[in-house]
Chain A
Amino acid sequence: MYLHAQSLGNGPQDQSGTDAARGLHDEPPLLPTARGDTSHTLLEVLARDPRRGLADAARLAWRGPVVAGIGDALTDDALTDDDLQLAMWLSYELSYRGLARVDGDWEGQPDLVHAQRTWESDLHADLQDRTTARFGPAPAVRNRRELVDALEDVASAEQGPSLSKYLMRHATEAQFREFLIHKSIYHLKEADLHTWVIPRLSGAVKAAMVTIQLDEYGSGNLDGMHAQLFRRLMQHWQVDDRYAAHLERAPAVTLLASNIISMFGLRRRWRGALVGHLTLFEMTSSVPNSRYARGHRRLNGDDLSARFFDEHVVADAVHEQLAAHDLAGGLVRDEPHLGGDIIFGARCAALADELLAAHLVGAWEAGRSSLYGGGEPTSATAGSL
């Protein structure tokens, strides 16, 4: 696996681009093992012909949290339920890279869309409860200034263990690899999840969004694309960098971080929440990334692969301002009724971040692996298939 990974993009720049470009193509992820009734049913369903319809569509409904059979996977709501989060992730992936040996027409298949809707309303209800419990009742915002102040409050309301400080000061090499494995679920398709919102925006707000996304995609240069910078970082750490290679070991909180964005991104109705989510992301990115960079270098990581972190420090310091004032602020100016959704999206981003940090730091401080299935902190990263 490592030979495969290191043959990509580590050599001198291929001027023709063809070999490297082919090597960098993301193959559809392999189907993982089920984690409960819902994901089990979904995997069974995805093997069928989407044109036939589902007589047993009701079986896709999520029946609430269960205590999974594996180790510490005791769940209390939709946010941390491995079965639900895996099912949602798989259903969304049909709209990104697809799934290996699954008919592409499952995307948008009415029975599956119906199931996805019910999962989303389960997740949304728990997000609503958890963000209100965490941040209090949402303030009413009527203008840009009030909105930016409210977003600032969310961005400054740090609580729980700091993942970035842990990585900067304490993480072992094995833990740093685990961190990359968790992050790879999002970063190997970084920006794609938020890009859905572009055609739903207009005018100055769209211009701000595109300015941000342009950086995320390296202004169209493959080498500068954040997903590629992350891939180079994974290669440096000798972690399998194939797309979704670590799906099998990604716990609910890791999948949740992406699922929230996909849920907001795929529905125009949630454009405010999507914008709020991205804005909070950008407002809380520079400082953690400079700490990740220090952790990376403390563990003798090289400068070339550190570019992923360094780039985020500089770019997100700009994005923070563009997102808060031009994107979120512009959206509430144009569509004042979206203020509540923008704050909700920001709160969801902060909550998901905190859940992930608590999970990782909690596991590490207890001497366990933070990956799904637990066990020893792992350096065996070539997937568990």
Chain B
Amino acid sequence: MVAAAEDVTITVCPNGPLLVRGPARLQDVAGDPVVHDRPVIALCRCGRSALKPLCDGSHRLARFRDDAIACDMAEVMRTARSVPSEQG
């Protein structure tokens, strides 16, 4: 069981989904809840799941590849700003 006070963590799985642990509320844009009763849920990251937003294991068939190495977001933003805009 997930303790109420526990933080929500989102783990980016290499070549796989986002794993959400803890008491996160999952909802659509209208604010309606995506009902689930699980302590951990997996959210699709490859785009191929037939059960979106949940993962259905399709990433393996799709040969989805993403290493999901932790990065420094500030560094990513600095790099992004230094790249000239594509519109030129």
Contacts and interface: CB of A to CB of B under 8 A. Distances in A.
Interface of A: 148, 152, 155-156, 211, 214-215, 219, 283, 285-287, 290, 313-318, 320-322, 325
A290 B39 contact: no
12 contacts: A283-B60, A285-B57, A287-B57, A314-B38, A314-B56, A317-B42, A317-B54, A317-B55, A317-B57, A318-B38, A318-B41, A320-B57
Contacts of B14: 148
Kindly name the residue among B51, B55, B57 whose own CB sees the greatest number of chain A CB atoms within 10 A: B57
B60 A211 contact: no
Contacts of B19: 318, 321-322
A211 B57 contact: no
Interface in B1-56: 11, 13-17, 19, 37-42, 50-51, 54-56
Contacts of B13: 321, 325
A283 B59 CA distance: 11
Task: Report the interface size class on chain B.
Answer: 20 to 34
A195 B27 CA distance: 34
Kindly name the residue among A215, A314, A322, A325 whose own CB sees the greatest number of chain B CB atoms within 10 A: A314
Contact of A286 (B11, B15, B40, B56): B56
B38 A215 contact: yes
Nearest to B49: A317
A283 B57 CA distance: 8
Interface in B37-88: 37-42, 50-51, 54-58, 60-61
B51 A313 contact: yes
B56 A321 contact: no
B39 A287 contact: no
A290 B42 contact: no
B40 A320 contact: no
B50 A321 contact: no
A96 to B, nearest CB: 27
A214 B37 CA distance: 12
A316 B57 contact: yes
Query: Which 6 interchain pairs have the tightest Cβ spacing?
Result: A286-B57, A317-B55, A318-B42, A317-B42, A321-B13, A317-B57
Given A287-B57, A290-B57, A317-B56, 14 more contacts: A156-B60, A214-B39, A286-B58, A287-B56, A287-B58, A287-B60, A317-B57, A318-B41, A318-B55, A320-B42, A321-B16, A321-B17, A322-B40, A325-B11
